[in-house]
Amino acid sequence: MAANKNKGAKLRNPPTKQKQRSDLFTEKKRPNKKEEAFDDVYDNHSEEEEEEEEEIEAEDLLDGDEQVSDFDDASEISDEDDDDVPLADDFLQGDDDDEDGDSRSTSGSDSDSDETDIEGKSRAIDEQRAREEEDAQAEMQLNIKEESDEFRLPTKEELEAEQQHPPDLANLQMRIKEIVRVLSNFKDLRQEGTTRKDYIEQLKMDLASYYGYNEFLIGVLVDMFPVVELMELIEAFEKPRPTCIRTNTLRARRRDLADVLSKRGVELDQLSKWSKVGLVVYNSHVPIGATPEYLAGFYYIQGASSFLPVMALAPQEKERVVDMAAAPGGKTTYVAALMKNSGIIYANEIREARLKSLTANLHRMGVTNTIVCNYDGRELPKVLGQNSVDRVLLDAPCSGTGVITKDPSVKTSKSLDDIQKCAHLQKQLILAAIDMVDANSKSGGYIVYSTCSMMVPENEAVIDYALKKRDVKVVPCGLDFGCPGYIRFRENRFHTSLENTRRFYPHVHNMDGFFVAKLKKMSNAKKNPISSEDAETVEQTQGPEETWSDKDNIKELEQHLKKQGTKGKKKSLKKNGLSENGKLESIPTSKKRGRTENWKVESPSTSKNKKRKFPSKEEISKAREEKRKAMRENKKRGRKQKAGE
pLDDT at 153 over 90: no
The catalytic residue among 422, 452, 477, 483 is 452
- Write down the pLDDT at residue 635: 83
Whether pLDDT at 85 is above 50: no
Instruction: Note whether 234 and 246 are same-domain residues.
Output: no
Q: CA 28, CA 169: separation in Å to the nearest integer?
A: 101
> 557 in a domain, yes or no?
no
Q: What CATH number has the domain bearing residue 251?
A: 3.30.70.1170
Does pLDDT of 503 surpass 90? yes
Given a cut of 60, is residue 281 above it in pLDDT? Answer: yes
Please determine, for residue 280, whether its predicted confidence score (pLDDT) is greater than 90: yes
Has residue 626 got a pLDDT over 80? Answer: yes
Q: 276 near 257, Cβ under 8 Å?
A: no
**Residue 324 falls inside a structural domain:** yes
Specify whether 339 is located in the same domain as 405: yes
Give DSSP secondary structure letters for 19-37: HHHHHHHHTTS---HHHHH
Q: Is 342 helix (H, G, I), strand (E, B) or coil?
A: coil
Q: Is there a binding annotation on residue 329?
A: yes
Asked if the bond preceding 14 is cis, omega within 30° of 0, the reply is: no
Of 40-54, 111-125, 374-388, 598-612, the range with the lowest mean pLDDT is: 598-612
Domain boundary among 521, 537, 566: 521
Q: How much is the average pLDDT of 261-276? A: 92
The predicted structure's pLDDT at residue 536: 41
Examine residue 606 and state whether it is found in any structural domain, yes or no. no
Of the candidates 204, 222, 238, which is a domain's last residue? 238
| Last residue within a domain, chosen from 218, 238, 258 | 238
Is residue 491 over pLDDT 50? yes
Out of 366-375, 432-441, 462-471, 582-591, least confident range? 582-591
* Range among 199-203, 525-529, 572-576, 640-644 with highest mean pLDDT value: 199-203
- Kindly tell me if the per-residue pLDDT of 621 is higher than 90: no
483 is catalytic: no
pLDDT of amino acid 20? 47
Distance (Å, whole) CA 207 – CA 19 = 95
DSSP letters of 400-467? -TT-TTT-TTHHHH--HHHHHHHHHHHHHHHHHHHHHB-TT-SS--EEEEEES---GGGTHHHHHHHH
Judged against a pLDDT cut of 70, whether residue 76 lies above it is answered with no
C-alpha distances (whole Å) from 382 to each of 229, 433, 457, 531, 533 are 45, 11, 27, 11, 11
Instruction: Band the pLDDT of 1: cuts 50, 70, 90.
Output: very low
Same domain, 279 and 189: no
Across the strands, what pairs with 243?
281
Q: 251-286: b or e for each residue (b if 16 or more CB lie within 10 Å)?
A: bbebeebbeebeeeebebeebbeebebbbbbeeeee
pLDDT of residue 249: 96
Residue 135 resides in a domain: no
To the nearest whole percent, how much of the chain has pLDDT over 70? Answer: 67
Q: What is the pLDDT of residue 487?
A: 93
| 588 lies in some domain | no
Calpha distance 641→187 (Å, rounded): 60
CA–CA dist 263, 615 (Å, integer): 69
The C-alpha atoms of residue 146 and residue 644 are separated, in whole angstroms, by 67
Does residue 212 fall inside a structural domain?
yes
Q: How much is the average pLDDT of 543-560?
A: 46
Query: What is the tally of structural domains in the chain?
Result: 3
Tell me, what amino acid is at 128?
Answer: Q
Residue 284 and residue 389 in one domain: no
- Residue 534: predicted pLDDT: 42
pLDDT at 367 exceeding the cut of 90: yes
Is position 491 annotated in a ligand binding site? Answer: no
pLDDT band (50, 70, 90) for residue 588: very low
Q: What residues contact residue 109 under an 8 Å CB cut-off, 6+ apart?
A: none
Q: Give tens-digit pLDDT for 60-72.
A: 444 444 444 444 4
Same domain, 340 and 473: yes
Q: Which range (118-127, 138-147, 179-188, 573-582) has the least confidence?
A: 573-582
Instruction: Report the phi/psi class of residue 340: left, alpha or beta, with left for phi > 0 and alpha for psi in -120 to 50.
Output: left
328 is in an annotated binding site: yes
Ligand-binding annotation for 98, yes or no, is no
Residue of 282, 289, 252 whose CA lies nearest to 268: 282
pLDDT of residue 363: 97
Residue 558's pLDDT band, with cuts at 50, 70 and 90, is low
Element (H, E) at 108: helix 86-148
What gap in Å lies between CA 510 and CA 533, rounded to an integer?
Answer: 38
Q: What is the CATH number of the domain that holds 398?
A: 3.40.50.150
Q: Model confidence over 223-251: pLDDT tens digits?
A: 999 999 999 999 999 999 999 999 999 99
Same domain, yes or no: 421 and 504:
yes
Determine, yes or no, domain membership for 471. yes
Given pLDDT bands bounded at 50, 70 and 90, which one contains residue 52? low
Q: Looking at the structure, tell me whether residues 313 and 380 fall in a common domain.
A: yes
In a shared domain, residues 442 and 361 = yes
Rounded Cα distance between 543 and 420, Å, is 8
pLDDT value at 429 more than 80: yes
Give the per-residue pLDDT at 612.
Answer: 57
- Give residue 7's pLDDT: 43
Angle at 414 between CA 409 and CA 420, to 5 degrees: 155
Residue 19 confidence (pLDDT): 46
3-state SS of the chain: helix, strand, coil percent to 5? 55, 10, 35
Same domain, 453 and 474: yes
For range 328-351, the mean pLDDT: 95
| Best-predicted range by mean pLDDT (129-138, 499-508, 545-554, 599-608) | 499-508
399 found inside a domain: yes
Say whether both 385 and 350 belong to one domain.
yes
Backbone angles phi, psi at 315, to 5 degrees: -70, 145
CA distance linking residue 565 with residue 576, whole number of Å: 17
Distance between CA 361 and CA 355 in Å, rounded? Answer: 10
Q: Is 478 annotated as a binding residue?
A: no
Grade residue 549 by pLDDT with cuts at 50, 70 and 90.
very low
Residue 109: what pLDDT?
Answer: 55
Per DSSP, the three-state class of 391 is strand
User: What local confidence, expressed as pLDDT, does residue 111 receive?
Assistant: 60
349 is in an annotated binding site: yes
pLDDT of 584 reads 41
State the average pLDDT over residues 422-447.
Answer: 94
Q: Is 325 a known ligand-binding residue?
A: yes
Rg over alpha carbons for the chain, rounded to the nearest Å, is 50
- Pick the closest to residue 334 from 285, 256, 278 (CA basis): 278
CA distance linking residue 394 with residue 446, whole number of Å: 11
Percent of the chain past pLDDT 90, that is, above it, reads: 49
Compute the average pLDDT of residues 392-412.
Answer: 94
The confidence score (pLDDT) of residue 225 equals 93
pLDDT, tens digit, for every residue of 182-197? 888 888 888 788 888 9
The arithmetic mean of pLDDT across residues 368-385, rounded, is 94
**Residue 395 annotated as binding?**
yes
Query: CB under 8 Å, gap of 24 or more: what pairs does 47-56 form?
Result: 47/16, 47/18, 47/19, 50/18, 51/16
Reported as a pLDDT band with limits 50, 70 and 90, residue 469 is very high
Is the model's pLDDT at 415 over the cut of 90? yes
The domain in which residue 190 lies consists of 156-238
Q: Is the pLDDT of residue 547 over 50?
A: no
Name the average pLDDT for the chain: 77
Contacts of 213 (CB under 8 A, 6+ apart): 207, 221, 411, 412
User: What angle in degrees, to the nearest 10, is found between the helix axes of 215-224 and 196-211?
Assistant: 130
Is the overall model pTM greater than 0.75, yes or no? no
What band does 143 get if pLDDT is binned at 50, 70 and 90?
low
Considering only residues 180 and 1, tell me which one the structure prediction assigns the higher pLDDT.
180
pLDDT in tens, 297-333: 999 999 999 999 999 999 999 999 999 999 999 999 9
Per-residue pLDDT at 37 = 45
The CB density around residue 475, as the number of other CB atoms within 10 Å, is 14
Residues 252 and 218 in one domain: no
Task: Give the C-alpha separation, 602 to 597, whole Å.
Answer: 10
Whether residue 419 sits in one domain with residue 482: yes
Q: Give the pLDDT score at 559.
A: 55
Residue 331 labelled as part of a binding site: yes
Q: Best-predicted range by mean pLDDT among 41-50, 74-83, 99-108, 276-285?
A: 276-285
pLDDT attached to residue 528: 54
